[in-house]
A = this chain, B = another copy of it.
Amino acid sequence: MKTKIDIVISHIKEQIDNKKLISGSRLPSVRQLAKKLGFSVSTVVEAYARMQAELIIESRAGSGYYVSGVSEIPVLESVVQYEREIDPLWISRQSLEAKNEIYKPGCGWLPSDWMSETSVRKGLKQALKLDSRFLTDYPAPQGHSGLRKTIAQRKKNQDIHVNMNQILLTDSGTQAIDLVFRHLLNAGDVILVDDPCYFNFQALIKVHQLQYIAVPFTENGPDLHAFEKALQLKPKLYLTNSGIHNPTGACLSIQHAYQIAKMAEQANLVIIEDDIFADFEFIAAPRYAALAGFQHVIQIGSFSKTLSASIRTGYIISHQDQIEELINLRIATNFSCNHLNAEIIYHILNDTNYIKSIERLKIRLNKAMKETINKLEKYHILPWTIPKAGLFLWCHLPENIDAAELSKFCLKHGVILAPGNSFSHSSGASQFMRFNIAQMMHQKIFDVIEAGIHHCLDHDAR
């Protein structure tokens, strides 16, 4: 016969099994659960203690109990073939190729009318004043020195102190990661990514024929327990978003940053932090590069999200020896770089109007975030966490609604969504969806989602 303690344990385990609680989720407090189940506090305390002993949950000082990460040996994964509708690459292509009449809350960028066209035009006009040599000649391979100085300057907001020689400009943020991968990895190597993570990381992992371990991402950063376990498989690097995490919108806590940086250093693991969403933050979250410097951390980024996706320049920040080697790799694979774009971006970043426009953008996003959360709540689509900033909202769908199925329905009706499993290969996310709040400002999208939910429920009932 089941004891009361067993009932508490079953209750929690069931919620973990059906993903209502996932790795990193906070458990109800002892008092809350005791009240809910009508048991004594000591029963719940004992149940939690047993689960803690089994490593199912963990306590954090002053903060309560949390679901642990994977307690088995971590699973090595290779990229598999996806069903077309949730294939990350396919979603990217659909979104990039989409006509104007298609809505794309599944995409990862702002609508063009949210970006500062005026600043871009001003930057272009400035570039017209360029000396002829810069307009037609091959630029130096490390890239525009003014822009590198500006980037170094801006990094001070994140408590990162670098000089321009530690910065290499690339043609895009994606190209920056690709170059670093080519430099550091060989086919078959193991890397760590977040679970969930930005779906194009998977496309890149496939191109490089890597294996990867997906470490559960909690509201405060990677699950520490899972991260530690994953190190047993001797990964070469850990690729993550810094600042605002894609797709969850969560931010790294300073405690997590410290623990992960320490483990990485001990395991000789390189951390690549993709800083692409930095300009959306109100207050900068901790950066690994700020804590640990550039011996174990490489930072990459670009300006595509806030400035222009059409005038592209990315960057890599590392220690100077590595930058030297990356320059050689860049000459071999791209020869030179794009001076004109760098010049335009340089002018825009140093334009006070642009800086003001970013402030306005952040406030607009914040408003859109609140509105979207309210509107989605009506359909029982609930945020996994409330993001502090940015454009992504990672939501739990109502019971019995499969994100892939909902996405397929919506795609047929002109709305491109980004279902959870595109971001999470371990498939713990089949009931999650990433929404781009800036692309949600059309009632049509909500109507289609509502119809989609009914469709899925009908389908389910039959």
Q: Interface on A for B, CB 8 Å cutoff?
A: 89, 92-93, 95-97, 109, 112-113, 115-117, 120-121, 124-125, 127-128, 132-141, 171-175, 178, 182, 187, 200, 203-204, 206-207, 304, 307-312, 327-329, 331-341, 344
Interchain nearest-CB distance for A327 vs B (Å):
7
Is there contact, CB below 8 Å, between B96 and A336?
Answer: yes
A116 partner residues in chain B, CB cutoff 8 A: 136
A333 partner residues in chain B, CB cutoff 8 A: 174-175, 178, 204, 207
Is there contact, CB below 8 Å, between A175 and B334?
Answer: yes
Assembled-state Cα–Cα distance A165/B289 (Å): 43
Number of copies: 2
Assembled-state Cα–Cα distance A310/B335 (Å): 11
A309 partner residues in chain B, CB cutoff 8 A: 136-139, 336
CB closest residue in chain B, given A179: B333
Could you give 25 example pairs across A and B, Cβ below 8 Å?
Answer: A89-B328, A89-B331, A89-B332, A93-B331, A95-B138, A96-B139, A96-B141, A96-B336, A97-B140, A112-B135, A112-B136, A113-B132, A120-B135, A136-B307, A136-B309, A139-B310, A172-B334, A174-B334, A178-B334, A200-B332, A203-B331, A204-B332, A206-B332, A207-B329, A311-B340
Assembled-state Cα–Cα distance A292/B366 (Å): 58
Assembled-state Cα–Cα distance A336/B171 (Å): 10
Is there contact, CB below 8 Å, between B200 and A310?
Answer: no
A307 partner residues in chain B, CB cutoff 8 A: 136
Is there contact, CB below 8 Å, between A331 and B134?
Answer: no
Interchain nearest-CB distance for A337 vs B (Å):
8
A200 partner residues in chain B, CB cutoff 8 A: 331-332, 335
A92-B335, A200-B335, A341-B341 are contacts. A207–B187 as well, Cβ < 8 Å?
Answer: no
Question: Which of A109, A132, A200 counts the most B-chain CB atoms under 10 A from its CB?
Answer: A132
7 more A-B contacts (CB under 8 A) besides A92-B335, A112-B136?
A96-B141, A112-B137, A135-B308, A135-B311, A171-B171, A204-B332, A309-B336
Assembled-state Cα–Cα distance A125/B129 (Å): 11
A175 partner residues in chain B, CB cutoff 8 A: 171, 333-334
Assembled-state Cα–Cα distance A207/B117 (Å): 39
A203-B331, A335-B174 are contacts. A121–B128 as well, Cβ < 8 Å?
Answer: yes
Is there contact, CB below 8 Å, between B171 and A338?
Answer: yes
Assembled-state Cα–Cα distance A121/B141 (Å): 23
CB closest residue in chain B, given A312: B338
CB closest residue in chain B, given A205: B332
A128-B124, A312-B338 are contacts. A331–B137 as well, Cβ < 8 Å?
Answer: no
Is there contact, CB below 8 Å, between A135 and B310?
Answer: yes
CB closest residue in chain B, given A335: B174
Question: Which of A96, A117, A175, A339 counts the most B-chain CB atoms under 10 A from its CB?
Answer: A96
Assembled-state Cα–Cα distance A341/B333 (Å): 19
Is there contact, CB below 8 Å, between B93 and A112?
Answer: no
